[in-house]
Amino acid sequence: MSALSGTGYAVIGLLSVRSWSTYELAQQVQRSLGWFWPRTERKIYDEARRLVERGYASSANEMVGRRRRTMYSITPAGRTALAEWLGADSAPMKLESEALVRVFFADGGSLDDLLATLEGMRAEAEEKLTVLWGMAEALDEPAYEFSRRLQINALGLRFQLDHHRMVAEWATWAYEQAAGWNSTIDLGGWDWRNALRS
């Protein structure tokens, strides 16, 4: 069988934890993987169906009240595919940020625009830290659904906490640096070499 996409492996990874309905899969991706693997609900729905077509997952319809839902479960072939993928090299990490693109081209705009972008980055990172700390506190709840995976969840959560803390700290530093400029092209004696070393 041909290799899955990264999203296919992400979905099959979730199925290795437990069975999910299509809706539950999409929600769980947003709650957990969405922090570092953002995908649309449609993409998750499509991947779940592809996993069934390839024999990596099975699906079964069930009634919940008067509504029908499709439940997905991992198959032995899916567990094998996941294990093989986990043993292979990962693709290089990518970072995508419209705000950083704006910073990169800030010399084409005003200093106020640059400062607003940096302040927005700081505020967004602080908001995400608040959400993440809320998630961390939920790990202590006796009814936490994934208590057998606390060690794995803690690794991922720590990465996200460190990442957003770094973004908040960098955005604060960059704001303080740029606030002393006369404009995005008149730096008023600001020394970029010293800034990199500080």
Of 190 and 139, the structure prediction assigns the larger pLDDT to 190
Q: Are residues 105 and 189 in the same domain?
A: yes
Instruction: Return the pLDDT at 2.
Output: 63
CATH for 66? 1.10.10.10
Token representation of residue 37: 């693997």
Distance, CA of 190 to CA of 19 (rounded, Å): 57
Q: Any idea which of 4-8, 73-77, 99-103, 161-165 has the lowest mean pLDDT?
A: 4-8
Q: Any idea which of 9-13, 62-66, 84-88, 184-188 has the lowest mean pLDDT?
A: 62-66
Q: Residues of the chain with pLDDT > 70: what percent?
A: 99
* Domain range enclosing 134: 98-197
Distance, CA of 153 to CA of 144 (rounded, Å): 12
Distance, CA of 188 to CA of 45 (rounded, Å): 54
Q: Are residues 19 and 64 in the same domain?
A: yes
- Name 63's bridge partners: 68
Residue 143 has pLDDT above 70, yes or no: yes
If you count them, how many residues does the chain have? 198
The verdict on residue 93 lying in a domain is no
Residue 195 has pLDDT above 80, yes or no: yes
For 1-24, the pLDDT digits (tens) are 568 999 999 999 999 999 999 999
Q: Rounded mean pLDDT of the chain?
A: 93
Last residue of a domain, one of 19, 54, 86: 86
Confidence bin at 149 (pLDDT 50/70/90): confident
The verdict on residue 165 lying in a domain is yes
Distance, CA of 74 to CA of 14 (rounded, Å): 9
Helix runs in the chain, H state only: 6-17, 22-31, 41-53, 76-86, 98-104, 111-138, 150-179, 192-197
Quote the number of domains for the chain: 2
Instruction: Return the pLDDT at 90.
Output: 94
Last residue of a domain, one of 38, 58, 86: 86
Last residue of a domain, one of 63, 86, 109: 86
Confidence bin at 198 (pLDDT 50/70/90): confident
For the whole model, what pTM was predicted? 0.86
Residue 124 has pLDDT above 70, yes or no: yes
Residue 151 has pLDDT above 60, yes or no: yes
Reported as half-sphere exposure (CB side, CA atoms, 13 A), residue 115 has a value of 12
Instruction: Return the pLDDT at 1.
Output: 54
Q: Are residues 112 and 190 in the same domain?
A: yes
